[in-house]
Amino acid sequence: MSINILALEGDGIGPEIMEATLDVVFFLNQELQLDIQFTKELIGLKSLKKHSTTINSKVLLASKKADGIILGPVDHNIYPPVANGGINPSGKLRIELDLFANIRPARNYNDLKSLSKNMNLIIVRENTEGFYADRNMFEGSGEFSPVPGVGLAIRKITKHASLRIAETAFRIAKTKFSSKDKKPKVHAVHKANVMRLTDGIFLDACRTVALNNKDIEYEEMLVDACAAHIVRNPSQFDVIVTTNMFGDILSDLATEFSGSLGLAGSLNAGGQNAMAQAQHGAAPDIAGKNIANPISLILSTAMLLNWIGEKRKLKKLNLASSFIDKSVIKILSKPNYLTRDLGGNLSTKELTKNFINILKKTIT
């Protein structure tokens, strides 16, 4: 049975980095006989122009039917109000497909200059509630203005969502960080000293899951302290589990300190669906110039292939994912093969060509 992947290129540099990513997957599809079928649909500003909405019902239906989605960056800050079709496609897909776990690795690469040392961690961010106004209400928005000059935001934290994100974090810790030398560790990051009720619910869920995973170390840390420790001593972290907004901020901090946000893979995963999504934005200032770095979306797609491989028990997909990871390490050791943001001077297309050549050698 074939694997159906839906590609949504998005805004800004989205079309360029999506083309690069699909070129990589097309190559692997041929070389490893992965039997992947691709479908493309419009979202974002192009969809708004054609369909008067940034994401329509056809795309949502195709997303639910797909085995996986590759989502390009979206420039939702310039969208019109929701009433005029300006829906954030990323948030909409996370809610509609119940993609409750945003899995964001941050690691150092030996050949890339970074602001940190010995970073190899994964931030597991709850994706469907918290302070995010577009996804924490059944109807309406979680942010509103009762009178002029006053704005209110609602934070929703539930036991159900907290338990399942904690279970995901402990499972990742066990899978990715178990060794003979030490127990893997999960840090639950919070602000319960101020938000006693909401973060209290979150911490209670984490503690419940920790009691059932005695082979994993468990620690709790305030979010401001965690930010400082990511800068000062990131090697103490294996997996950080946290709520939506904290996870969003901490993951960008960690990946930038590890070397570059342009190398930050990210996977949105639920029980039945998953979506690859680069951590960086749409970068409209460099759109169409053929200088964008596609590695973040390529790494995100590697995470997606691995997720589908594990779910469908298709080892070829896990192998394809590992080949991408190894090839990223190799290309970063060659400055002349990179785009400007990584210290090179190549175009998006030239980097992609070099990456596929390295991938070819890695496979053989």
| Mean pLDDT (the chain, rounded) | 94
Tell me the C-alpha distance between 137 and 246, whole Å. Answer: 19
Please determine, looking at this structure, whether the domain spanning 1-99+272-364 carries the CATH number 3.40.718.10.
yes
- Residue 76 has what pLDDT? 92
Helix residue ranges per DSSP H, the chain: 14-32, 44-51, 57-65, 89-96, 159-177, 196-211, 223-232, 244-258, 295-312, 315-332, 348-363
φ/ψ (deg, to 5) at 143: -130, 130
State mean pLDDT over 11-29: 98
What pLDDT does 165 receive?
99
pLDDT at 115 over 80: no
pLDDT at 257: 86
6 closest CA partner among 240, 304, 299, 279: 304
CATH (residue range 115-258) = 3.40.718.10
CA gap 169, 203 in Å, rounded: 13
Question: Per-residue pLDDT averaged across 325-353, rounded?
Answer: 94
| pLDDT for position 114 | 78
Is the per-residue pLDDT at 206 higher than 80?
yes
Instruction: Give the span between the Cα atoms of 43 and 182, in whole angstroms.
Output: 45
Is the model more confident about 141 or about 273? 273
- Has residue 136 got a pLDDT over 90? no
Residue 133: predicted pLDDT: 78
- Confidence at residue 1, expressed as pLDDT on a 0 to 100 scale: 74
Please provide the distance, in angstroms rounded to a whole number, between the alpha carbons at the two ends of the chain.
26
| 178 — pLDDT class (breaks 50, 70, 90) | confident
pLDDT at 197 over 90: yes
What pLDDT score was predicted for residue 134? 76
Looking at per-residue pLDDT, the higher value among 116 and 175 belongs to 175
Question: Strand 185-190 to strand 143-144: parallel, antiparallel, or no bridges (unpaired)?
Answer: unpaired
Q: Is 135 left (phi over 0), alpha (psi -120 to 50) or beta?
A: alpha
Amino acid at 9: E
pLDDT tops 90 at residue 214: yes
Does 1-99+272-364 match 115-258 in CATH topology? Answer: yes
Domain coordinates of the chain in residue numbers? 1-99+272-364, 115-258
pLDDT value at position 167?
98
Question: What does the DSSP assignment read for 267-310?
Answer: EEE-SS-EEEE-SS---GGGTTSS----HHHHHHHHHHHHHHHH
Q: For 229-278, how does the pLDDT look when each residue is reduced to its tens digit (9 = 90+)?
A: 999 999 999 999 999 999 999 999 999 888 787 888 999 999 999 999 99
- Please give the pLDDT value at position 39: 96
Q: How many residues does the chain have?
A: 364
277-326 per-position pLDDT tens digit? 998 999 999 999 999 999 999 999 999 999 999 999 999 999 999 999 99
> In whole angstroms, what is the distance from residue 128 CA to residue 351 CA?
35
pLDDT, average across residues 142-156: 93
The reported pLDDT for the residue numbered 17 is 98
Distances (CA, A) of 108 to 97, 104, 257, 303: 32, 14, 9, 17
pLDDT score recorded for residue 113:
78
Secondary structure of 115-178 in HEC code, one letter for each residue: CCCCCEEEEEEECCCECCCCCCCCCCCCEECCCCCCCEECCECCHHHHHHHHHHHHHHHHHHHC
